[in-house]
């Protein structure tokens, strides 16, 4: 099984097979419009602009599971992202990434990766908060917060997982190396 086996819901409610992205390098990210990590949209759009002509795509999946930081409809979220960050990469319908209602794509992503740990000062705060919610959070692959990213190779296999506190420069370097 790989990413091409999944179908996701587009913003307009229609289904899209991820096999449509076969042969491309993908960065899959769960996002939110009201999160401390929301400014990462700026760098994501920069990377998209820089690498899109080399068969690179970013697949954006808004998620409201973390402190309700992605309120609003799919249209409202899309308007926010395009107006504030000029995002042009594909944005899909809002989904759940954890639990019984998790989208099958995210069930696969989290079953096949491990939590990489948080870094930096924000990581200390994130770890303290998550330890209260899930004392075993370090030992499971669940998504810990908004802006967790997965780099998928041209064959549909997972290359890397980036936690929200990972430096965006590191994400760019991995994208560039994979291209």
Kindly give the pairing relationship between strand 15-17 and strand 7-9: antiparallel
Give the residue numbers annotated as catalytic, written as ranges: 35
SS3 state at 111:
helix
Alpha helices (H) along 25-73? 40-51
- Judged on CB neighbours under 10 Å (0-12, 13-18, 19+), 56 is buried
Task: Give start and end residues of each alpha helix (H) in 9-153.
Answer: 40-51, 74-85, 104-111, 120-133
Select from 100, 29, 109, 104 the least CA-distant residue to 70.
29
Report angle CA 70, 123, 78 to the nearest 5 degrees: 20
Q: Give the C-alpha distances (Å, rounded to integers) separating 11 from 8, 25, 43.
A: 10, 22, 22
Report the distance separating Cα 128 and Cα 78, nearest Å.
Answer: 32
């Amino acid at each position: 099984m790989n990413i091409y086996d999944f179908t996701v819901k587009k913003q307009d409610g229609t289904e899209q097979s991820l096999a449509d992205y076969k042969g491309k390098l993908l960065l899959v990210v769960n996002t939110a419009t009201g999160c401390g990590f929301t400014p990462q949209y700026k760098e994501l759009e920069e990377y998209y602009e820089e690498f899109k002509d080399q068969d690179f795509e970013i697949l954006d999946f808004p998620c409201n599971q973390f402190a309700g930081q992605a309120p609003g409809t799919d249209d409202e979220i899309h308007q926010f992202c395009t107006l504030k960050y000029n995002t042009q990469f594909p944005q899909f319908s809002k989904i759940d990434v954890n639990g019984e209602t998790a989208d099958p794509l995210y069930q696969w992503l989290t079953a096949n990766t491990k939590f990489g740990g948080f870094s930096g000062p924000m990581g200390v705060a994130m770890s303290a908060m998550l330890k209260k919610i899930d004392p075993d959070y370090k030992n499971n692959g669940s998504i810990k917060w908004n802006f967790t990213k997965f780099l998928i190779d041209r064959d549909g296999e997972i290359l890397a997982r980036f936690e929200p506190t990972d430096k965006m420069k590191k994400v760019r370097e991995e994208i560039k190396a994979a291209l």
